[in-house]
């Protein structure tokens, strides 16, 4: 009798676990699709500010959020697909080398934000640490890919060009990401959106 009750409980808990896992996967898929749509649309909004529109790095924010909320693999996938898809459909950003290099940069953003957020303690300071580290790695990856695209020729893409593209021209975007992303993640934590189990 006890054995049959125990096996019944085990069966129910296993079924519940599988159902929760299935729901989490579906939820991640839905959120990832939302972030991909945002990465596609946000450049239209920032494009209305000609002076600093492109400097706001509008595709970066949805990819970073995707990594934090859906996890590293989803963030990496959406980060890689977003600029390529946008370039293919709209011609912006230009495919080579811009969208190509951005694909690797954003993939690094999405992967690192998701991995670090799950590794670090769940405290506010670590959200900022995950974000800044992800942004740094992403920019280094972008620089490496750009350098490779230029035939490893420092005359075509040297440190000055890297620094201008990764830092100087992106200062408004960096500030926006540091302000906005942690606030959204803290809200998501309060709303229990980030309680999905891996």
pLDDT tens profile 76-88:
999 999 999 999 9
**Contact between residue 143 and residue 102 where contact means Cβ atoms under 8 Å apart:** no
Q: Is residue 16 part of a domain?
A: no
Which structural domain, as residue segments, surrounds residue 42? Answer: 31-195
CATH number where 49 lies: 1.10.1760.20
For tokens 């060009």, what's the residue?
161
pTM metric for this prediction: 0.84
- How many beta carbons lie within 10 A of that of residue 148, not counting itself? 14
Give a yes or no: residue 1 inside a domain.
no
In a domain, 75, yes or no: yes
- The per-residue pLDDT for range 109-121, each reduced to its tens digit, is 999 999 999 999 8
Sign of CA dihedral 175, 60, 110, 163: negative
């Amino acid at each position: 009798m006890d054995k049959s009750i125990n096996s019944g409980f085990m069966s129910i808990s296993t079924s519940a676990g599988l159902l929760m896992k299935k729901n989490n996967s579906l939820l991640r898929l839905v959120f990832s699709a939302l972030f991909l749509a945002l990465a596609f649309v946000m450049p239209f909004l920032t494009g209305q500010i000609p002076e600093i529109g492109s400097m706001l790095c509008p595709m970066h924010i949805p990819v970073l959020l995707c990594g934090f909320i859906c996890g590293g693999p989803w963030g990496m996938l959406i980060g890689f697909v977003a600029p390529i898809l946008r370039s293919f459909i709209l011609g912006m950003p230009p495919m080579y080398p811009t969208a190509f290099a951005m694909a690797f940069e954003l993939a690094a953003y999405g992967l690192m934000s998701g991995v670090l957020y799950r590794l670090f303690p769940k405290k506010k300071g670590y959200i900022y640490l995950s974000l800044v580290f992800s942004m740094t790695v992403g920019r280094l990856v972008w620089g490496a890919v750009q350098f490779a695209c230029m035939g490893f020729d420092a005359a075509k893409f040297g440190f000055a060009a890297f620094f201008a593209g990764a830092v100087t021209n992106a200062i408004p975007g960096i500030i926006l990401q540091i302000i906005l992303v942690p606030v959204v993640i803290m809200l998501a934590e309060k709303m229990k959106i980030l309680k999905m189990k891996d």
